[in-house]
Amino acid sequence: MKKFKAFIALDSKTNIENLRVVKKLYPYVYGFKVGYRSFYNSNADKLIKEIKKKKSKLFLDLKLHDIPNTVGSAIESLSKINPDFLTVHISGGKTMLEYALATIKKKKLKTKLLGVTLLTSLDSKDSRGIYAEDNTNKLVKKFATLANKSGINGIICSGNDLLEVKKFKNLIKITPGVKMFSRKDDQKRVTYVHEALDSGADYVVIGRELINNKDPRSLLQSYYEKNQNQNLWTN
């Protein structure tokens, strides 16, 4: 079985549970996403060490957003972890993005910096209230343009916005809020895995559908058997 072009979001209640997910799925997926819940929970160090031990990609999703100096200091504090991917909010501005990138280079980290465009939990009404722009595609394109100008490595965007940012060939595109199967949750701008990857995403983020399943490995293997001829798997 080839590896799924996906990061598994480790959002279980405890990192003991997250460790079990890593041990079950690491041979089959590109990497694992560690967000607030798991990063600030007990045993986070064990979780991160296990991901690195398994030679999976570590995606640290902390969405840094502050004045440039503070974001730079945060990245320096994370240098011992040296994640493969790290998120910042593009709305922090060009100076913040450039400062973050400069800190990564100064510390000689392998980390790729990813800018968050618009959270998948936000729709046009939310966008209008926050940014005075109700066209989410247009707003994401503006954020992607800023990311591209700042020199960061990639962006996080909804599957609905991928066609708007397709022209930015040099930016890695990771899409959260995707579905393997039909479900209802708190994300408003969602798409299916195959739609996201066919529309230009390099990787997707999958969480609850796998980690909440009693046998995520069998579920993923079954999914592979049904979809092995699609553009969902690494070479």
The string of pLDDT tens digits covering residues 47-78 is 999 999 999 999 999 999 999 999 999 999 99
Please write the tens of the pLDDT for every residue from 70-103.
999 999 999 999 999 999 999 999 999 999 999 9
Bridge partner list, 8: 32, 206
Give the model's confidence band at 126: pLDDT under 50 very low, under 70 low, under 90 confident, else very high.
Answer: confident
Spatial neighbors of 164 by CB under 8 A, at least 6 apart, are: 137, 138, 140, 141, 144
Task: Show which residues are catalytic.
Answer: 63
In CATH, the architecture of 4-227 is Alpha-Beta Barrel (3.20)
Exposure string of 116-138, with b = 16+ CB inside 10 Å and e = fewer, is: bbbbbebeeeebeeeeeeeebbe
Q: What is the pLDDT of residue 187?
A: 56
Q: What is the pLDDT of residue 182?
A: 65
Please write the tens of the pLDDT for every residue from 161-201.
999 999 999 999 999 989 888 655 555 557 899 999 999 99
State the virtual CA torsion across 98, 103, 105, 108 in degrees, nearest 10.
-160
